[in-house]
Structure 1
Amino acid sequence: MNANAQAEFAIAGEQIVDQDTAHRIEQFLFREARLLDSERWEQWLELMTPDIHYWMPAIENRRRADRLGAYAPGRGAYFDDNHFDLERRIARFMQPSAWAEDPPTRHVHVISNVEAQHSDTNGEFVVYSVFVNYRSRGEADNDLLLGRREDVLREVEGKLRIARRKIVITQSLLMSKNINTFF
């Protein structure tokens, strides 16, 4: 896609990334999903910056007019993690006493609708995507979690790293027995 065609899709104020950068970002997100699906959590954690903010606000069913502050910090969250919190969650998954993961949950993460733009900060990108997380555990426990992500990816020593992640699921009520997953 040439620059004129890219500009056609941009919303006022957005600077869409070039095709090579978009491909690089997509491949980064696909690799991340593969690491999660294969329970390579320590390698997944290496994809985060030390100042990561990993946030999944709770969903509130509200009238459209009342929704403006629905995802504001302080309204409750399933996850509101920094790097240390993510380290602790991973350490917990790896413990023999983690009964919620014995037998382990099988995951399939599908990432799609990736859209990337330049951030106001040099070396950072704002990336939007949608995900499907299909989880299967035991013989009959199956969960389907769907949502959107808003990421800030940062160049660190020539490699992309996740500096911010906001996860918004579509379900207002989680029917899963647990939420022992990363998105």
Structure 2
Amino acid sequence: MTTVEARPVADVTRAEVEDFLFHEAALLDDWRLEEWIELFTLDCTYEVPATDAPDADPGLTWSLIHDRRTMLEQRIIRLKKPAAHAEFPHSQTSRIIGNVRITERRADALLVEANFIVSRMKAGKFDQYVGRHHYELLPAADGFLIRRKKSVLAHDRLDPQGKISFVL
């Protein structure tokens, strides 16, 4: 796990944030989920809100995903098992991250937004998911830690099954 040390938020560059987000995308595309989870703080939140209510309070409404660290770890364990039929064999994904912006610098964290396109290939079917990631990043000695990641899909609906079986 990345270690948190006092690193001034004001010293962080957009290029450093981009490199971190590109690294995160590569871990997900390579299905290195155990390494990916280590990018998160112990008190993290990972959220994919419903497509019709992206700004709703996840405590009061339905979300596609709303996980704390323990549930996120369990999700990864399930996805890696051959019994996870929706993802065995695993989807092939290719992520493009762009328009990375640091939207706010707080005393101990950065708020960051980035657009994404995730292309997914599985069982002869090709899907694309597009949207915007919202992060709360903690600068650390050797990179960043994710305290919050919210992935808002720019879709009016999902496929008829209405689920995402891989990590955005």
- Does residue 38 in structure 1 map to residue 34 in structure 2? no
Letter of the aligned partner of 1:161 in structure 2? L
Tell me the equivalent position of 2:13: 21
> Larger relative CO (CA 8 A, sep 6+): 1 or 2?
2
Deviations 1:70-98 (A, max 9, x none): 52332210011011111001100111211
> What's the % identity of the aligned pairs?
31
Aligned residues: 158
Letter of the aligned partner of 1:52 in structure 2? C
Stretches (4+) displaced over 4 A: none
Tell me the equivalent position of 2:4: none
The structure 1 residue matched to 2:62, chosen from 76, 91, 103, is 76
- Does residue 170 in structure 1 map to residue 154 in structure 2? yes
2:20–2:143 contact (8 Å) kept in structure 1:
no
1:37–1:108 contact (8 Å) kept in structure 2:
yes
Q: Please state which structure has a larger fraction of its residues in helix.
A: 1
Tell me the equivalent position of 1:52: 44
User: Residue 128 of structure 1 aligns to a residue in which SS?
Assistant: strand
User: How do 1:1-183 and structure 2 match up within 5 A?
Assistant: 21-60=13-52, 70-73=55-58, 74-122=60-108, 124-139=109-124, 141-175=125-159, 177=161, 178-183=163-168
Please, which runs of 5 or more residues in structure 2 have no aligned partner?
A: 1-8
Would the alpha carbon gap of residues 169 and 17 (structure 1) be closer, same or farther in structure 2, given more than 3 Å must change? farther
Higher Cα Rg, which structure: 1
Deviations 1:128-168 (A, max 9, x none): 101001100012x1111100111000024443011011111
TM-score, normalized by length of structure 2?
A: 0.85
1:17–1:117 contact (8 Å) kept in structure 2:
no
Please, which runs of 5 or more residues in structure 1 have no aligned partner?
A: 1-15, 62-68
